[in-house]
C-alpha cells in the first residue's frame, strides 16, 4: 500500500525546480497530482495520475478555474503545496515600489488567496495538509531585498494563523524554509525572479560564496525539500502544525 493512495495533491508552482520534484514524489507514493503553474512545465511527466493546469496564483478567478479542473479530473483535494515565489535581488534603497508590490503579491497575498480558495474543498475531507514555502530569510534576516524578506517572514504569521484557525477541521499548515537550492530561481533570468551575472549561480563566484555559507557544505537538492513536503503531507506528521522548518544545511544557524 503506497503512502498517498486515495489522496489528491494540488501543487501550485508545480513546473518549478522544487515543484517538479514534489510532483514526481507524490506520484511515486500513489497520490493523484494537479500541477498548476503560470508557466508550462519544461519536463512534462506523462502519468494518468497527473494533470496540468494554468494558474496565476495572484488571481482568485484563476484559482477557481484550476480547482474546477482538478475536481473534474480527480473529484477531491486533500493536500495543497504553495511552491511558487518571486524575488528581485536589490539593496534596500534600490527596491522599487513596483517590485515590492509584485513580490508581496506573489509570495504572500497569493498564498492567502490559494488557502482561501482550496480550503472549502479540503474541508470536505477528514483532514488535510497545506505546505507553504518560506526561505532562509524567514529564519535569519539577510542581505536580500526588503520585499522578499518581508514576504517570507510574513508567511510565518499567515501559516500560524491558518494552522490555529483550521485545526478544528484537522487541516494542518506548515512552512518549509529552503536554504540554497539549485533551481532556476537562483540560476535563470525569469520574469518572476530575474538574475544577471551579478546574482546568478551561473557565476562561479556567486555559486562558491553561497556554498561557503552552508555549514553542511552543499547546496540542497530539490529532493531534500520534496522529502519534507511528503512527510508534512502524510499522517506521519499528524501532530505537526504551525511549524517553521528549515532545510538549509545549517545556513540559518
Ligand atoms: N531555489 C532556492 O534557492 C530557494 C531558496 C529559498 C526559498 N525558495 C522558495 O522556494 C519556492 C520554490 O522555488 P524554486 O526554487 O522551485 O523556484 P523555480 O523558479 O524553479 O520555480 C518557481 C515556480 O513558480 C512559478 N510561478 C511564479 N509566479 C507564479 C504565479 N504568479 N502563479 C503561479 N506560479 C508562479 C514559476 O513559473 C515556477 O515554475 C519559492 O517560494 C522560492 O521563494 C527557493
CATH code assigned at 55: 3.40.50.720
Q: Residues 6 or more apart from 87 whose CB is under 8 A from it?
A: 103, 144, 145, 148, 185, 193
Q: What is the mean pLDDT of residues 98-107?
A: 98
Q: What is the mean pLDDT of residues 246-252?
A: 97
Q: Residues 6 or more apart from 40 whose CB is under 8 A from it?
A: 15, 52
Whether 142 has a pLDDT exceeding 80, the answer reads no
- 207 located within any domain: yes
- Domain range for 12: 8-247
Reference 114, options 135, 134, 130, 102; nearest CA is 130
Q: What is the pLDDT of residue 143?
A: 65
Reference 122, options 82, 73, 67, 160; nearest CA is 67
Q: What is the pLDDT of residues 178-224, one digit of tens each?
A: 999 999 999 999 999 999 999 999 999 999 999 999 999 999 999 99
What's the pLDDT band for 1 if we cut at 50, 70, 90? confident
- 181: which 3 cell numbers? 537550492
- 252 located within any domain: no
Pocket of ligand 1 (CB under 6 A): 13, 15-19, 37-39, 55-58, 83-86, 106, 110, 133, 135-136, 178, 180-181, 183-186, 192-193
The reported pTM is: 0.98
Indicate which residue of 52, 88, 148, 192 is catalytic. Answer: 148
DSSP 27: H
Q: What residue owns the CA closest to ligand 1's atom 24?
A: 84
- 111 located within any domain: yes
Whether 242 has a pLDDT exceeding 70, the answer reads yes
- 173 located within any domain: yes
The number of distinct structural domains making up the chain is 1
β-strand partners of 220: 181
CA 40, distance to chain mean position in Å, is 17
Average pLDDT, the chain: 96
Q: What is the pLDDT of residues 19-43, one digit of tens each?
A: 999 999 999 999 999 999 999 988 8
**How far does residue 170's CA lie from ligand 1's centre (Å)?**
27
Helix axes 17-28, 222-233, angle to 10 degrees: 50
Q: What residue owns the CA closest to ligand 1's atom 8?
A: 135
Amino acid at each position: 500500500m503506497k503512502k498517498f493512495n486515495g489522496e489528491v495533491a494540488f501543487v501550485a508552482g508545480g513546473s518549478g525546480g522544487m515543484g517538479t520534484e514534489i510532483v514526481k514524489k507524490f506520484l511515486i507514493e500513489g497520490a493523484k497530482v494537479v500541477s498548476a503553474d503560470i508557466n508550462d512545465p519544461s519536463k512534462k511527466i506523462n502519468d494518468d495520475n497527473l494533470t496540468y493546469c494554468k494558474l496565476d496564483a495572484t488571481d482568485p478567478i484563476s484559482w477557481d478555474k484550476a480547482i474546477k479542473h482538478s475536481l473534474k479530473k480527480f473529484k477531491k483535494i486533500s493536500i495543497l503545496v504553495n511552491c511558487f515565489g518571486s524575488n528581485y535581488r536589490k539593496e534596500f534603497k534600490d527596491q522599487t515600489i513596483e517590485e515590492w508590490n509584485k513580490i508581496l503579491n506573489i509570495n504572500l497575498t497569493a498564498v492567502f488567496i490559494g488557502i482561501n480558495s482550496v480550503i472549502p474543498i479540503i474541508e470536505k475531507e477528514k483532514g488535510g495538509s497545506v505546505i507553504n514555502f518560506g526561505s532562509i530569510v524567514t529564519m535569519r534576516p539577510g542581505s536580500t531585498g526588503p520585499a522578499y524578506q518581508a514576504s517570507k517572514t510574513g508567511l510565518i504569521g499567515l501559516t500560524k494563523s491558518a494552522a490555529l484557525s483550521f485545526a478544528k477541521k484537522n487541516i494542518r499548515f506548515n512552512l518549509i524554509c529552503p536554504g540554497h537550492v539549485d533551481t532556476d530561481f537562483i540560476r535563470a533570468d525569469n520574469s518572476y525572479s530575474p538574475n544577471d551575472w551579478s546574482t546568478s549561480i551561473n557565476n562561479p563566484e556567486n555559486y562558491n560564496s553561497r556554498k561557503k555559507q552552508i555549514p553542511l557544505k552543499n547546496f540542497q537538492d530539490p529532493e531534500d525539500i520534496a522529502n519534507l513536503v511528503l512527510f508534512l503531507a502524510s499522517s506521519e506528521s499528524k501532530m505537526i502544525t504551525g511549524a517553521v522548518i528549515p532545510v538549509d544545511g545549517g545556513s540559518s544557524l
